[in-house]
């Protein structure tokens, strides 16, 4: 594989609770035209399905190799960065980037580790809890009066942007300034769990009145692409602050 | 209408001999998400059609207002610039641009006049004669091993690129360096006809051995976006060179 193919192979498309199998097929075809190979389906309503196969045309191999999981957490295992596509404004305080800006960042990170682009259901998108599992929100610029891209069309635009960005990055540009190994999704989730337990134990987080404390912390850490060593430091710190049970 | 809407209203999508009405509907929806309004259909196989309506979802208005014509010439009437989407390499000597590069140019020209993006049939694309009616060929970067974007997906990518380019141009950037009124498609076609007749009359163009002379001339003029005055000059010149019949 050349470095363009390698970079694109590191990007997975995650479709969450997709209603229409035709959209899964169209997404597979869209991915394949841009050199993306890895499709992950979280709790699809109907899959496998002949309608998905029909719409995939020459991309049946992607459907056959698609990974099906129960939760978005499982779908993001192993990724160093995940972005959530979002048409609507949310109360979430996550950063929101344009498709192009985000693709440039994703293409850069995909040279070092696995990245994910997460698409919600056709009607309601992603839940806030799901969006919060991602590092940032991405919006495809659209006419505010009719901004509902078809799911397959949205996958096509993002896959296209990713390919163009990966092509632009090709000629041996240097890696990120930071040089350490990037933290994986599951490392960071363990850190958040550790953080939450610590705050609950300390009483700082009141389960009766959580005040969006965890989402805010997630946002803070989402703005940096964390390295493994940094996650270890945070967890070491948390551990050092937790009173040992008697 | 603000200037973004105005610019986008000047861009028409032309679908030539589309086989599947579903693709017409998907294209209408793709256009509408990006603020494009004008759909022109050249000899569609089935239109209107309930399948097109179903796929258009909220973009039925575009289908209702779609213009249907018999030839690409008719579809391009009134345009100052037209680009032909093309997946395959052609023998044509037309310039080939990337989707992004082309969108920047189209967005700039659409502030002054009407432009067209022309898409061929699902299977065979455009004929060479049709592609030659356009100023340039445009390719959407894709995996060389599977480059067949669905028609609706290709329309989505181009409409998206056009919107992003038009947004970037928004804050009152100056117009093209040239300042004259741009020539319209039909002015230029008349010029080519005039040119051909002149060359036939002079014997320079041998109908038995045309040697791709006209295509090469088309290419030459396609590389410049011609102004009306320039077309008049060429035609005046041709006229002056044609011996008057006795």
Chain B contact probe: residue of A33, A97, A140, A145 with most B CBs at under 10 A: A33
What is residue B178's three-state secondary structure? coil
Q: In chain B, what are the domain boundaries?
A: 3-169, 185-241
**Would you list which residues of chain A are within 8 Å, Cβ to Cβ, of chain B?**
26, 29-30, 32-35, 57-59, 100, 140-143, 146-150, 152-153, 156-157, 160, 163-164, 167
User: Coil, strand or helix: which one is B57?
Assistant: helix
Between chains, do A33 and B167 touch, taking CB under 8 Å as contact? no
B179-197 burial by CB neighbour count: b if 16+ within 10 A, else e?
A: eeebbbbebbbebbebbbe
**CA of B32: which chain A residue's CA is closest?**
A146
8 Å CB contact between B230 and B183: yes
The per-residue pLDDT for A21 is: 97
Do the bridges between strand A136-139 and strand A79-85 make them parallel or antiparallel, or are there none, so unpaired?
parallel
How far is it, in rounded angstroms, from Cα A160 to Cα A137? Answer: 18
**Taking every pair of C-alpha atoms in chain B, what is the biggest distance, in angstroms?**
63
- Whether the CB-CB separation of B160 and B29 falls below 8 Å is answered with no
Confidence of residue B243 (pLDDT cuts 50, 70, 90): low
Class of domain B185-241: mainly alpha
Rounded to whole angstroms, the Cα distance separating B139 from B127 reads 16
Q: Do A143 and B32 touch (CB under 8 A)?
A: yes
Domain A3-169 CATH (choose: 3.40.1280.10, 3.30.460.10, 3.20.20.370, 3.90.180.10): 3.40.1280.10
**In chain A, what residues touch B167 (CB-CB under 8 Å)?**
141
DSSP letters for B93-159: ---EEEHHHHHHHHHHHTTTSEEEEEE-BTTTB--HHHHHTSSEEEE----TTS----HHHHHHHHH
Average pLDDT over residues B127-155: 92
Nearest chain A CA: its distance from B148 CA (Å): 6
- Three-state secondary structure call for residue B4: helix
B136 pLDDT higher than 70: yes
Q: Express each pLDDT in A29-73 by its tens digit.
A: 999 999 999 999 999 999 999 999 999 999 999 999 999 999 999
B107: chain A residues, CB-CB within 8 Å: none
Residue B90 is predicted with a pLDDT of 60
How many residue pairs bridge chain A and chain B with CB atoms within 8 Å of each other?
83
Mean pLDDT of A77-93: 80
Complex-level ipTM:
0.80
Give B136's strand partners: B83
Chain A interface, mutation test: which of B157, B159, B162, B166, most A Cβ atoms within 10 Å? B157
Q: Which residue has the higher pLDDT, A27 or B237?
A: A27
Q: Same topology for domains B3-169 and B185-241, yes or no?
A: no
- Which of B101, B160, B166, B169 should we substitute to test contact with A (largest number of A Cβ atoms within 10 Å)? B160
């Amino acid at each position: 594989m050349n470095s363009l193919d390698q970079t694109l192979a590191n990007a997975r498309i995650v479709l969450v609770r997709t209603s229409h199998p035709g959209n899964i097929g169209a997404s597979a075809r869209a991915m394949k035209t841009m050199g993306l190979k890895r499709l992950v389906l979280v709790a699809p309503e109907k899959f496998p399905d002949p309608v998905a196969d029909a719409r995939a045309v020459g991309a049946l191999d992607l459907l056959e190799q698609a990974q099906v999981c129960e939760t978005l957490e499982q779908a993001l295992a192993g990724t160093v960065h995940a972005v959530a596509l979002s048409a609507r404004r949310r109360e979430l305080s996550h950063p929101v980037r344009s498709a192009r800006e985000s693709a440039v960042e994703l293409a850069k990170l995909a040279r070092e580790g696995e990245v994910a682009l997460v698409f919600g259901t056709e009607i309601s998108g992603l839940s806030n809890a799901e969006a919060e599992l991602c590092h940032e929100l991405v919006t495809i610029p659209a006419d505010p009066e009719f901004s509902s891209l078809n799911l397959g069309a949205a996958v096509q635009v993002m896959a296209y942007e990713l390919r163009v960005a990966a092509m632009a990055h090709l000629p041996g540009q240097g890696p990120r300034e930071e040089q350490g190994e990037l933290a994986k999704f599951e490392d960071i989730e363990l850190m958040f769990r550790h953080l939450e337990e610590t705050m609950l134990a300390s009483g700082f987080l009141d389960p009766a009145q959580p005040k969006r404390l965890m989402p805010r912390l997630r946002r803070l850490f989402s703005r940096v692409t964390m390295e493994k060593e940094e996650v270890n430091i945070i967890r070491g710190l948390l551990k050092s602050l937790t009173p040992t049970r008697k």
